[in-house]
């Protein structure tokens, strides 16, 4: 159309015909251009076109309300684009080609106002950042802030995100207020119902959601009355106990009772329980409240009499009648129900009080406060202010509103025709003000835009009955968008036929409610068509299954498995055809675009259905992505894996955590590989060293570089990309970046680990809304699985709806329902049975109505074709019912106009359906044998994977047998002590020497370990690898704190408390908190113990921070040598002639590494200090010089102190240069047996190797040159 063509008034689009004043309802069926219409109406308002306001409006004057931030942003963008397009047309820059702009162009051209119209539109487009386009919550917040006086809103209130925390606080307050103050038996009863405040909170969630604000407060006296009745019954049973016992004996002897129900053992057992309960002291009942109910029902007089065999004389004693009287008064479940309602009322009031105390408000409060202000006696003044501020309001997705929101807008914009009804409760207001208000209302406009057929968000609080009320309020002012621009003609006619088929039989109630009519829509010219195997496909296709017998109706599980497999097979056929050029989209100009997986969407109702569908697609080798707004990155498997990695890196000394980290699937280590690693001491040492370096990276640079280095080491990214798992890789990086940011406000790595663990726990409970899974560009290329709720407003070329036959079932009470007058009511557990039947029927009807609306949304998402699973799913025949039933089924209603169908009726309806002339395709489908692999089709992608080039080989020959070894590696496999190898495997990561000292940290017999002894002294402290590691870490912490400073702070009252907190933290970390009272004085004494050096005695506590180095690391190169040579030289030098385990016979070449517990300097001499936690005996007498020497040799600590002395010697030679002298500077090795601090020699072993031995070993390790260069 050109601007010169005149449009007849009767064919003008609704966006041009709609009067822009009063309250009007626009119903926009799926795909009919709702957003386009809103943008066109907005453009008219900017121009002042046919407006009764007499002036153009600006973006600040037009209120547009929608329900999500994303929708608000989309509307803003679409309206801005429309305004720019209109401005260009009116200014003659681009001639209009669309009917609305053409009509406006003609009209303003004829009036000579086209240039001015272009200016208005241009100005509005440039000012769209100021546009009043809000979510409902954002608008309410603005009203309360900008009109605080008129609305009565409190100043200083802060908007909080999540009300759950406050709810938890209030429930705990209720628990404390009403549970703790109860009598003993009442409290026991309450705790039997709800064991924790969390259990009570869970029980209250649904009642809190459903209960009205004017809920009557039930009395708690019922529990007291029930307990009083129970106490009276105890006395009665106690007095009549002999009669009951006599009855039991007689009944058993005469066979009066049914033996299947009342076995002899059970009778006597329950008799003893009953009498014991009745005769126990009043305040200490022997049977708890949860068991007493069952016990009393067992001894019910009426029940016993009913189960008495005919012709038998035995009759229950009259005393048991008191039990029936008690049970008839009030059941436990009824009392529990009353308590829940009492808690609901109290908690609600408490939350209002707490919000006021905290000056806090939440999202629901925003809406409620605005509605309260507008409906208050002086609410008309606020309404006038808002009308002046926003003369026109457009409410998008109005079908998703609720009564509170509608009441607010109606109070502002209700026109004079129904203002009389609205103002009946406001007769005390000044009549002149009302008249003025009505005049304003007629000039203003409230445009309600939505589609009741798409009202599917009742779980969010949307109320279809509010829409129905609005429909009645706007009678005679309804408008309909009747052309579908989304789908092709055949598909539109199929949907029209489906929902119109039984209109005569249904009396027009296709969607259950008569006020939700189905009006067939027209189709617009298609822009493209879909071709599959040389045939244009534009079908609404139903997959049907013929049942040969009544038993062949599907259960829900069978139905899902069958339809998921059928859907996967069909998708494979489509994608394979596309690869062969037989499935494509053809545009109007003949261009062909191959079908892609991204063109296909599968709509489901729940995560469970999505999971079934994804499993079927995975078996078919079809990649998919599940789109859900609730996906939290903390709920992913990657979050759990990252937590395991962080635990291991934070505590590299903990082998259990380290093994767990290496076993995570994302590091791609096979079981065999892990087993080899644990058996290979050298490789394990390298792994330990790597994780220590990771911890250093974490502390220095942050968690993100640490994770990247870990993933790089194990080639995680390449593995994941090779498996096409970009999502997993992105989650790792997303989590790492989030943790890096979060760490800035936390203290230490363990706080960060706790934060991640809490986030994972919250995500599992569905409470995390902070970090959603990032959408990837690659996701856009995948097949989409999406919930029907989330698909609303979206469209896809091809749509599958495999699980359309799933039926609704009644919820357990309580639940909400609506009576014949559309008034909302709540069915509680103990409402009368007659009311329950009525409520359940109404509830199922409402649920079916929503299912029908959900089905309508699903089948209208497709542009070209939609496949629907229509298999019979329902209840199989039982003894009571011989027919299969499809209950509360969408297809049952659409096909036959009934909520439930038998299988025979279902098949008859399908037969009738297929016989009618409609464009719907019924495709008979065979049952698949899912156990047979051939029943599933597999997609073979045509993507070409680049072959990897041959691995390049290093040209330089590597040294044979070259290794990185350590003291542990050298003594590994010594031959004289059979348990030595095992002990080495249990060593500490941070200090390889700990391996040996924990070898036999048990009693001298080696048969038992000290683990159960109570905290008494250091000799009763547990033995073993973990306790030894803890003692070393404790001394390492003391060294990093400062030995001298620690002793000084311990004596300073101002600093002692803080010091003790840090000490306790160390004990808690290793779970030895109960030992702190033993370990603290032990450590203080140990640090102050004189080391008994001949030259000048000193203690560790006298050393300043500049005089020692904790955990000094060294790395020395080694020339090739034989370990047996090393062994011989040390044995000849250190305690010659004394037997000890031999070192393994092997050649070593490479690097020697190690960590020395402490290197210190005193009086110009340097010492190697090593802590030994070995358990030598039960008391101080075990730590004699002979015993310590024996331990030194048995564990080959002689090799250790020789190697450590050589390392210190070479370091000093380099650092001191020509001034270095071995005799003057080397003090020797001091080995401190930690458990022997109170022994006669304080558990101190000192040894200084001869200089000649040192020269010989240097010569062996590094050759002649090294010896001459480094000895002085």
Active centre residues (catalytic): 1170
Cα dihedral 557/559/564/566 (nearest 10)? 150
3-state secondary structure of 737: helix
Query: How many CB atoms within 10 Å of residue 912?
Result: 12
Reading the block at residue 473, the tokens are: 């309020």
Cα dihedral 569/571/575/578 (nearest 10)? 110
Residues 554, 905: Cα–Cα separation, whole Å? 16
Closest Cα partner for 227 from 179, 286, 272, 187? 187
Question: How open is the CA angle 553-558-562, to the nearest 5 degrees?
Answer: 100
Closest Cα partner for 458 from 888, 818, 769, 204? 818
Helix or strand (DSSP H, E) at 1110: strand 1108-1122
Sheet of 624-627: strands edge to edge?
624-627, 783-787, 600-604, 796-801, 862-869, 540-544, 920-924
Reading the block at residue 231, the tokens are: 């106490």
Annotate 633-646 with DSSP letters as a single string: GGGSHHHHHHHHHH
Residues 1268, 1272: Cα–Cα separation, whole Å? 8
Residues 658, 876: Cα–Cα separation, whole Å? 53
Question: Could you tell me which residues are beta bridge partners of residue 602?
Answer: 785, 800
Q: How much of the chain is helix, strand and coil, in % rounded to 5?
A: 55, 15, 30
Query: How many CB atoms within 10 Å of residue 924?
Result: 11
CA distances from 254 to 208, 250, 310, 314, 979 (A): 55, 6, 12, 8, 72
Contact 864, 797 (CB under 8 A): yes
Question: How open is the CA angle 1207-1212-1216, to the nearest 5 degrees?
Answer: 165
CA distances from 11 to 15, 16, 18, 221 (A): 11, 10, 13, 71
251 CB contacts (<8 Å, ≥6 apart)? 257, 262, 267, 308, 312, 314
Closest Cα partner for 739 from 631, 629, 634, 630? 634
Can you say whether the dihedral through the CA atoms of 27, 31, 35, 41 is positive or negative?
Answer: negative
Closest Cα partner for 1015 from 1003, 997, 1027? 1027
Reading the block at residue 341, the tokens are: 């309602």
658 backbone dihedrals φ, ψ, rounded to 5° = -65, -45
3-state secondary structure of 823: coil
Residues 462, 450: Cα–Cα separation, whole Å? 13
Cα dihedral 962/966/970/974 (nearest 10)? -140
Residues 563, 615: Cα–Cα separation, whole Å? 12
Question: How open is the CA angle 726-728-730, to the nearest 5 degrees?
Answer: 70
């Amino acid at each position: 159309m050109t601007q010169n063509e005149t449009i007849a008034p009767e064919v003008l689009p609704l966006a041009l015909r709609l009067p822009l004043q009063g309250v009007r309802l626009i119903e926009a069926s799926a795909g009919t251009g709702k957003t386009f219409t809103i943008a066109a109406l907005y453009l008219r308002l900017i121009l002042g076109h046919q407006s009764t306001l007499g002036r153009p409006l600006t973006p600040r004057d037009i209120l547009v309300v929608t329900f999500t931030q994303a929708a608000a942003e989309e509307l803003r963008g679409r309206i801005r684009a429309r305004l720019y397009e209109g401005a260009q047309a009116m200014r003659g820059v681009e001639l209009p080609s669309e009917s609305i702009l053409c009509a406006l162009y003609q009209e303003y051209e004829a009036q000579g106002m086209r240039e001015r119209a272009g200016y208005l539109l241009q100005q509005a487009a440039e000012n769209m950042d100021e546009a009043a386009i809000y979510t409902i919550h954002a608008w309410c917040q603005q009203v309360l802030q900008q009109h605080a006086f008129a609305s009565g809103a409190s100043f200083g209130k802060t908007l909080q995100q999540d009300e759950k925390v406050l709810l938890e606080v209030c429930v705990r307050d209720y628990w404390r207020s009403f549970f703790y103050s109860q009598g003993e038996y009442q409290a026991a009863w309450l705790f039997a119902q709800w064991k924790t405040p969390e259990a009570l909170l869970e029980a209250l969630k649904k009642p809190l959601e459903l209960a009205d604000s004017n809920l009557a407060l039930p009395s708690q006296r019922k529990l007291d009355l029930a307990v009083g009745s129970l106490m009276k019954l105890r006395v009665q049973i106690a007095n009549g106990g002999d009669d009951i016992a006599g009855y039991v004996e007689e009944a058993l002897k005469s066979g009066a009772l049914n033996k299947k129900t009342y076995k002899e053992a059970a009778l006597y057992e329950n008799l003893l329980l009953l009498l014991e309960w009745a005769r126990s002291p009043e305040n200490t009942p022997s049977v708890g409240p949860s068991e007493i109910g069952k016990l009393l029902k067992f001894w019910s007089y009426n029940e016993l009499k009913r189960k008495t065999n005919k012709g038998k004389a035995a009759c229950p004693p009259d005393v048991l009648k008191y039990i029936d009287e008690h049970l008839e008064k009030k059941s436990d479940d009824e009392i529990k129900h009353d308590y829940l309602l009492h808690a609901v009322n109290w908690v609600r009031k408490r939350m209002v009080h707490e919000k006021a105390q905290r000056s806090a408000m939440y999202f629901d409060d925003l809406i409620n406060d605005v509605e309260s202000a507008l409906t208050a006696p002086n609410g008309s003044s606020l309404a006038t202010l808002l009308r002046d501020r926003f003369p026109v309001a457009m409410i998008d997705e109005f079908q998703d509103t609720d009564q509170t929101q509608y009441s607010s807008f109606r109070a502002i914009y209700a026109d004079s025709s129904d203002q009389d009804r609205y103002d009946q409760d406001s007769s005390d207001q000044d009549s002149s003000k009302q008249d003025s208000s009505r005049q304003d209302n007629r000039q203003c406009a409230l445009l309600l835009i939505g589609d009741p057929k798409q009202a599917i968000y009742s779980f969010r609080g949307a109320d279809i009955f509010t829409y129905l009320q609005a429909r009645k309020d706007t009678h005679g002012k309804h408008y309909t968008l009747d052309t579908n621009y989304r789908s092709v003609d055949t598909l539109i006619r199929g949907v029209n036929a489906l929902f119109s088929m039984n209109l005569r039989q249904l009396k027009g109630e296709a969607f259950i409610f008569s006020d939700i009519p189905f009006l067939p829509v027209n189709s617009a010219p298609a822009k493209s068509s879909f071709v599959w195997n040389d045939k244009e496909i534009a079908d609404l296709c139903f997959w049907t299954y013929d049942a040969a017998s009544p038993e062949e109706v599907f259960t829900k599980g069978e139905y899902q498995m069958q339809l998921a497999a059928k859907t996967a097979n069909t998708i494979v056929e489509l994608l394979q055809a596309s690869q062969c050029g037989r499935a494509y989209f053809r545009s109007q100009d003949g261009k062909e675009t191959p079908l892609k997986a991204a063109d296909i969407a599968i709509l489901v109702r729940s995560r469970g259905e999505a999971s079934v569908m994804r499993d079927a697609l995975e078996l078919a080798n079809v990649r998919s992505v599940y789109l859900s707004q609730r996906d939290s990155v903390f709920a992913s498997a990657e979050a759990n894996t990252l937590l395991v990695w962080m635990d291991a890196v934070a505590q590299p000394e903990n082998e259990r955590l380290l093994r767990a980290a290496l076993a995570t699937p994302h590091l791609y280590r096979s079981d065999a590989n892990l087993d080899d690693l644990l058996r290979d001491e050298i490789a394990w040492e390298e792994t330990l060293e790597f994780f220590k370096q990771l911890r250093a990276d974490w502390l220095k640079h942050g968690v993100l570089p640490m994770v990247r280095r870990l993933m790089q080491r194990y080639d995680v990214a390449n593995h994941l990309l090779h498996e096409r798992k970009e999502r997993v890789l992105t989650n790792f990086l997303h989590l790492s970046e989030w943790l890096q940011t979060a760490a800035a406000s936390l203290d230490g790595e363990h706080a960060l680990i706790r934060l991640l663990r809490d986030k994972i726990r919250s995500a599992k409970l569905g409470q995390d809304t902070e970090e959603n899974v990032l959408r990837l560009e690659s996701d856009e290329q995948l097949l989409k699985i999406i919930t029907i709720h989330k698909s609303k407003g979206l469209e896809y070329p091809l749509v599958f709806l495999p699980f359309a036959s799933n039926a609704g079932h009644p919820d357990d009470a309580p639940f909400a329902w609506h009576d014949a007058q559309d008034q909302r009511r709540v069915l509680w557990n103990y409402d009368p049975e007659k009311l329950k039947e009525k409520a359940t029927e109404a509830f199922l009807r409402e649920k079916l109505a929503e299912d029908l609306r959900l089905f309508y949304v699903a089948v209208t998402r497709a542009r070209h074709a939609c496949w629907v699973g229509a298999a019979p799913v329902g209840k199989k025949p039982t003894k009571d019912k011989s027919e299969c039933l499809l209950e509360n089924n969408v297809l049952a209603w659409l096909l036959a106009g009934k909520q439930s169908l038998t299988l025979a009726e279902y098949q008859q309806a399908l037969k009738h359906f297929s016989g009618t002339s409609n464009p719907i395709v019924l495709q008979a489908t065979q049952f698949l044998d899912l156990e047979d692999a051939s029943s599933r089709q597999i997609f073979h992608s045509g993507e070409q994977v680049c072959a990897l080039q041959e691995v390049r080989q290093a040209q330089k020959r590597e040294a044979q047998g070259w290794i990185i070894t350590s003291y542990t590696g050298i003594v590994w496999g010594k031959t004289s002590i059979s348990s030595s190898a095992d002990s080495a495997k249990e060593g500490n990561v941070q200090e390889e020497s700990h391996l040996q000292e924990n070898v036999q940290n048990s009693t001298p017999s080696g048969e038992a370990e000290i683990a159960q002894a109570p905290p008494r002294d250091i000799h009763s402290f547990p033995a073993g690898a973990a306790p030894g590691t803890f003692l070393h870490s404790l001394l390492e912490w003391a060294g990093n704190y400062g030995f001298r400073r620690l002793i000084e702070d311990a004596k300073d009252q101002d600093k002692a408390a803080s010091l003790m907190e840090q000490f306790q933290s160390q004990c808690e970390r290793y779970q030895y908190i109960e030992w702190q009272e033993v370990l603290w004085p032990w450590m203080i004494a140990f640090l102050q113990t004189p080391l008994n050096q001949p030259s000048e005695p000193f203690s560790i506590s006298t050393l300043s921070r500049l005089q020692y180095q904790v955990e000094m690391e060294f790395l020395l190169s080694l020339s090739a040598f034989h370990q047996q040579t090393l062994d011989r030289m040390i044995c000849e030098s250190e305690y010659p002639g004394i037997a000890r385990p031999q070192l393994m016979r092997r050649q070593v070449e490479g690097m020697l590494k190690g960590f020395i517990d402490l290197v210190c300097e005193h009086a110009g001499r340097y010492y190697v200090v090593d802590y030994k936690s070995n358990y030598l005996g039960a008391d101080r007498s075990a730590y004699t010089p002979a015993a310590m020497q024996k331990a030194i040799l048995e564990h080959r600590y002689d090799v250790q102190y020789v190697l450590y002395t050589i390392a210190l010697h070479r370091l000093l030679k380099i650092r001191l240069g020509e001034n270095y002298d071995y005799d003057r500077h080397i003090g020797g090795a001091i080995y401190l047996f930690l458990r022997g601090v109170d022994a006669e020699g304080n558990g101190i072993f000192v040894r200084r190797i001869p200089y000649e031995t040192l020269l010989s070993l240097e010569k062996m390790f590094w050759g002649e040159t090294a010896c001459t260069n480094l000895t002085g």
